[in-house]
Amino acid sequence: MKTSEFLHRACPMCGATDAREEVHSRRRAEGITLESLRPYWSGLFKEKLFFSYHRCAACGLLYNPVFFGPGQLADLYSDMAPNMDLVPSAAIAATQRGYFQAAARRGGLAGGYLEVGPDIGHIVSAAAAQGAFDHFWLFEPNRAIHDPLRAATGGRPATLSADMDDFSAVPDGSVGLAVMVHVLDHLLDPRATLAQIRAKLRPGGTLMIVTHDESSLLRRLMGERWPPFCLQHPELYNPATIRSLLTRTGFGAIAVERSRNHFPIDFLARQTAWSIGLKVDRVPLPSVSIGLRLGNMLTLASASPQAAERVTRRLESVR
């Protein structure tokens, strides 16, 4: 077994090292080499293969104690195809508009808009149309989609960057809404990113996060076949652990809800038929979109001045 080329790490939420293995693939990713993992990262092989997930004995976070290091990750992501190509874009747009409406219900759609991993900007265009944001700060690693992303802002002042780790160009205390959709559970150091975003939010500003929910019914039904158990997720959250992470990084007024993914009925029917070996291309099906709760959760949190003060006091007390 060769594990030395991978990163060995403590819990990314609390720093503890005592953790119990909870789920693993038949062959464990940490048991094979980086080079032989490449085709699995790109999804070329059907065999399910991922780094073993352990549950932290101290804070309850489900994470990979062995995972790709930062350099390996940058290399792997550089030749990865864009997300969710299989799902028709109208369905993705409907799903993401639903996310924006959830954030909009908190109000305060002004100041700066910051999004990490906005893809082609479905939420950005909703924010540009419905909000009064004065600047869009968009951190999207895929430069090939920067043009459509800029267009999604509808001509509002915008700064696009391919760097997902450095938000220093954004003025502190200026952002009214920050958004991360299927980003947080890809990060090696989620605390560092959240702390940076916390500093950028203005008082009362909102952070919206969409992640998978490892305590969902779907996860329990599917076991280790649950799709989010994969090489791209160094940790996975549930409502309790994401609350804890946000509290530890200076957020308050935290609300977690199960979110809906929209799929056209014809797409779902074809996928189902395809998975059981039927060919239904010729069958006319209604192209109506329906919302399903598929084991995702939407988390809203605020930059409460009290929470920030608590974190500052804690930081000062360790100096």
Taking the C-alpha atoms of residue 186 and residue 133, their distance in angstroms, rounded to an integer, is 27
- In the complex, least distance from residue 251 CB atom to Zn ion, rounded to whole angstroms: 18
- In the complex, least distance from residue 57 CB atom to Zn ion, rounded to whole angstroms: 8
> Which one, 95 or 193, has the nearer CB to Zn ion?
193
> Which one, 10 or 104, has the nearer CB to Zn ion?
10
- In the complex, least distance from residue 59 CB atom to Zn ion, rounded to whole angstroms: 3
| By CB under 5 A, residue 242 contacts Zn ion | no
- In the complex, least distance from residue 241 CB atom to Zn ion, rounded to whole angstroms: 9
> Which one, 20 or 105, has the nearer CB to Zn ion?
20
| By CB under 5 A, residue 221 contacts Zn ion | no
Q: Which residues contact 20 (CB under 8 A, 6 or more apart)?
A: 54, 55, 57
| By CB under 5 A, residue 124 contacts Zn ion | no
Whole-number Cα distances in Å, 194 to 161, 247, 308: 18, 10, 12
Considering only the stretches 42-50, 51-59, 239-247, 261-269, report the one whose residues sit in contact with Zn ion under the rule CB under 5 A. Answer: 51-59
Figure out which of the listed residues 29, 37, 49, 56 binds Zn ion, where binding follows CB under 5 A: 56
Task: Copy the structure tokens of residue 195.
Answer: 């702390």
| By CB under 5 A, residue 58 contacts Zn ion | yes
- Indicate the pairing of strand 62-63 with strand 235-236: antiparallel
Amino acid at position 129, single letter: A
- In the complex, least distance from residue 280 CB atom to Zn ion, rounded to whole angstroms: 46
> Which one, 63 or 136, has the nearer CB to Zn ion?
63
Closest CA to 144 of 82, 74, 71, 232: 82
> Which one, 11 or 188, has the nearer CB to Zn ion?
11
Sign of CA dihedral 275, 278, 281, 287: negative
Q: Site residues for Zn ion, window 1-20 (CB under 5 A)?
A: 11, 13-14, 16
Taking the C-alpha atoms of residue 168 and residue 190, their distance in angstroms, rounded to an integer, is 17
- In the complex, least distance from residue 233 CB atom to Zn ion, rounded to whole angstroms: 16
Sign of CA dihedral 163, 165, 167, 169: negative
> Which one, 65 or 295, has the nearer CB to Zn ion?
65
Q: CA torsion, points 160, 161, 162, 165, in degrees to nearest 10?
A: -140
Binding site for Zn ion (CB under 5 A): 11, 13-14, 16, 56, 58-59, 61
